[in-house]
Structure 1
Amino acid sequence: MLKKSFLTGVIALAFSAGLAAAEPAKVLIPANPGGGWDGAGRETMAAFNKSGVFTDGVSFTNKGGAAGTIGLAEFVRTAEGDDNALLVTGVIMVGGVISNKTPVSLDNTTPLARMTNEYNAIAVPADSPIKTPQDFLAALKADPGALSVGGGSAGGVDHVLLALLAKQAGAPVDKINFVSFSGGEILASLGGGKIKAAISGASEFRDFAKSGRIRLIAVTGPTRVEGLDVPTLKESGIPIEIGNWRGFVGAPGMSEAGRKTWLDRFEKLHASDVWKEALKAHGWEDAYLAGDEFKAFIKAEESNWTTALKDVGILK
């Protein structure tokens, strides 16, 4: 009897201290299938499984729109107190919360880990007369409204980059023609000539570029992206560098035990050879930052992006 009571207590303690350890993860991706957020969420969870760090399964839900803030609102509404619920997040969502003035923000979640940073690329159709970053600036200056440029949600990294390029070209920011997409359909639109250029993560364009369906004219990092023979904006004489970090947050009201469980998992994943291989395969930069440091980073980003959005004229 004592033995049975003891075992019952141990089982109860296990459930209260780490429910996340016994159930599949529920990952909400705040974008349509395809694209950077979708890839980051699915590939990270695949690495968890392949590395053996977390093998209890995962279900994905895609909820795109409004720079990830529709997915954020859904997550905050439905995931309260769920130690197994995760939301893929990133700088685009930070900008979306600010520019859309949403009633929910990342303050309503439990920050867990920033995992990657990726630099953007500027792409054009393979037969485009725009062949260099300077050609792109010239087209912006000549007629910013005629140069339709696809990207992620309004107020995100892609939109801000286009605004920065317009300022560099001497074109009015309020005249730029930014076409927002919430998933991987941007590639079909670019390859089909429905838009004249596109801005997104370099990894999203890699395969299309290698197949010759589109042409990359610049990347936005401090150095060239490995495996892509594409100049940086800086080496082209354009003093702009901008990146796109992505990570994970937990549910509102996630228990301290659940938070510690996931922080331990992300730490182990980050240290694994499987994760190092994933970073290299996708052209992602290691940007690991976890727990309270990640929480402080998000607060700093909110301040930085408020200033940036005002500076480029997106936020009034």
Structure 2
Amino acid sequence: MVRSLTLLLALGASAVAKPVDADPMYAHLRIIAPAGPGGGWDQTARAMQQVLQQSDIVETASVENIPGAAGTIGLARLLGAERGKGDVTMVSGLIMLGAIASYHSPVTLRDVTPIARLTGEYEVVVVPAASPYRTLTDLLDAFRARPESIAWAGGSAGGTDQILAGLIADAVGVSPRRVNYVAFAGGGESMAAVLGGQVTAGISGLGEFAPQIAAGTVRVLAISSDARLPDVQAPTLREQGVEVVLENWRSLVGPPGMGVEDRARLDRAVAAMVSSTAWQQMLRRYGWSDRYLAGAAFARFVLDEEARVASILDKLGVVAAPTAGPASVGFYPIFVLAGFALCVISLTLSAVGARRDADRSPLDRAAADAEDRPSQFRAVSLIALGIAMNVLLLERAGFVVASVPLFWLTARAFDGQHPRRDVIVAVALSLGTYLLFARLLQVSLPAGVLAPWL
């Protein structure tokens, strides 16, 4: 009897401990870290992967690193190839806002689906253990004397690390434009430069440098918090006379075009993750602060931060020249296609005209020229109309819809006898071009009204 009662109590406790709907929310969830291994985004993605699986929120999760241009390459991928998918999310944050402004990115966080802010992390300034700069005062004295002689290593241009370097310079009376900042793709590369003596000092999030700090290979000169942290033996910038406080934050976003149910499921999964014991342990392990904020409040927060970061970067003069790459191509494909069409038409018309002229007498050539002028004018007019419609419709209706009239009118300029066939060819060519650029080459092109299907 006692044994039976004990068994019943155990079964009852098990039923209470495990909710009825405790089945995993995802069979598989993909997490994009838009940076190389070792950095804060990579750490966040892998911490999520571990917690989501341990807590049975997902059956399996995978992390995909897509480094480049401070996360905007990954952002372009999310907007293009991942559009509308419900089984993928990407780590983002303050650094990406800086990169968008610095790299003049045509894709922004306004184009994705905001999910939640997850963590906050303060920055640390470190030097190699053997560095002659024993304190922050030593480092800043040398910095004031010869600003360009002090090389600061950190993450991508326009990110939190460079912002902190600029704010420190401004606070101690040095023009931020004189900061010798060396940007790296991730915290791992930045730390390697510090340990290798390639730079004077390094700036990064506390969690990224924590292993080297614990091992004693680097010395922390300052932390960017407003007060000392209990687990970090380092003074703040403020208590050393540098009036700067800065906290980096990281978040999650989803692809554009997510269905209502897909977004709600991802919201539930993230809420379950941040409330788990395993996630709280991760926060303590990396020295992260819990900054969970979801829904409309997070969307408003991103807009406010976008304006704040743009203002800071403008003050610091941290603006990079536009770079060529998948994240900054913009209208390039359209101009290429339009130019290609014009060149082909021009060459074809010239070749046809030359062949006709070779077989005609001078009088016949003169008469033929008079007859050909209207048709040539018509061809050029049709192409010009197609280009104009493409430009007008591109942002409003999307690349595919805008390109159909361009290709159709170009075909009509060559041959006006098969309008129905030309429509089919124009649609196929427009769709094929979009898939080539957006899916294969990872160039972000506006999907427009066809976004739910592309």
Structure 2 residue aligned with 1:297: 301
**Aligned positions of 1:123-272 closer than 5 A:** 123-183=126-186, 184-272=188-276
Q: How far 1:187 moved relative to its partner? A: 1.4
Gaps of 5+ in 1: 1-19
Aligned partner of 2:90: which letter?
L
1:288 to 289, 292, 311: 292
SS of 2:198's partner is coil
Aligned match of 1:67: 70
Q: Where does residue 41 of structure 2 map in the other structure?
A: 37
Contact 1:137 1:165 in 2 (8 A): no
**In the TM superposition, what whole-angstrom CA distance separates every residue of 1:27-48 from its partner, at most 9, and x where no partner exists?**
1111101111100111022111
1:24 deviates by: 1.1
| Equivalent residue, structure 1, for 2:92 | 89
User: For residues 126-185 of structure 1, what are the alpha-carbon distances to aligned partners after superposition, in whole Å with 9 as ceiling and x for unaligned?
Assistant: 111212222222122111111111001111111011111111222222221111111212
1:273 to 261, 270, 277: 277
What is the aligned partner in structure 1 of residue 430 from structure 2?
Answer: none
Instruction: From the two aligned structures, give the one with the greater strand fraction.
Output: 1
Which residue of 100, 111, 116 corresponds with 1:113? 116
- Per-residue deviation at 1:256? 0.9
Tell which deviates more after alignment, 59-68 or 210-219.
Answer: 59-68
- Aligned-partner Cα distance in 2 for 1:168–1:276: 35
- State the shift of 1:93 in Å: 0.1
Distance in 1 separating the partners of 2:66 and 2:26: 26
Q: In structure 2, what residue type is equivalent to 1:34? A: G
How far apart are the structure 2 equivalents of 1:21 and 1:137? 51
**Contact between 2:126 and 2:202, CA under 8 Å: does it hold in 1?**
yes
C-alpha distance in structure 2 between counterparts of 1:295 and 1:56, whole Å: 29
Query: CA–CA distance in 2 between the matches of 1:281 and 1:251?
Result: 29
Distance 1:226 1:43 in 2: 22
* Amino acid paired to 1:245: W
Query: One-letter code of the match for 2:79?
Result: V
Distance (Å, rounded) in 2 between the aligned partners of 1:295 and 1:101: 21
Identity of aligned residues (%): 37
1:276 counterpart SS class: helix
| Deviation, structure 1 residue 66 | 1.7
Q: 1:313 aligns with which of 276, 300, 317?
A: 317
Deviation string for 1:200-231 (max 9, x for gaps)? 00111111122121111100011223322101
The number of aligned residues is 296
Aligned to 1:13: none
Q: Contact 2:25–2:58 (CA<8 Å) still a contact in 1?
A: no
More helix as a share of residues:
2
Q: d(CA) in 2 for partners of 1:40 and 1:224?
A: 23
Instruction: After the TM superposition, list the runs of 4 or more consecutive aligned residues in structure 1 that deviate by more than 4 angstroms.
Output: none
1:26 aligns with 2:46: no
1:71-114 deviation line (CA, Å, top 9, x unaligned):
11122111011001111001000111112111101111111011
Q: Secondary structure at the match of 1:57?
A: strand
Given that 1:93 and 1:156 are in contact with CA atoms closer than 8 Å, whether structure 2 keeps it comes out as yes
SS at match of 2:167: helix
Hey, what does 2:368 align to over in structure 1?
none
SS at the partner of 2:148? coil
Paired position in structure 2 for 1:15:
none
8 Å Cα contact 1:110-1:250 kept in structure 2? yes
Please give the TM-score of this superposition, normalised by the length of structure 2: 0.63
CA RMSD of aligned residues (A): 1.5
Instruction: Give the Cα–Cα distance (whole angstroms) in 2 for the partners of residues 41 and 130 of structure 1.
Output: 34
Shift of 1:292: 1.4
One-letter amino acid of the counterpart of residue 50, structure 1: Q
Deviations 1:35-69 (A, max 9, x none): 111001110221111122x2221222111122211
Larger radius of gyration: 2
**1:4-43 residue CA offsets vs partner (Å, 9 max, x unmatched):** xxxxxxxxxxxxxxxx944411111111011111001110
TM-score by length of 1: 0.90
Where 2:59 maps in the other structure, the secondary structure is coil
Question: Retained in 1: the 8 A contact 2:121–2:247?
Answer: yes
| 8 Å CA contact retained: 1:29, 1:61 | yes
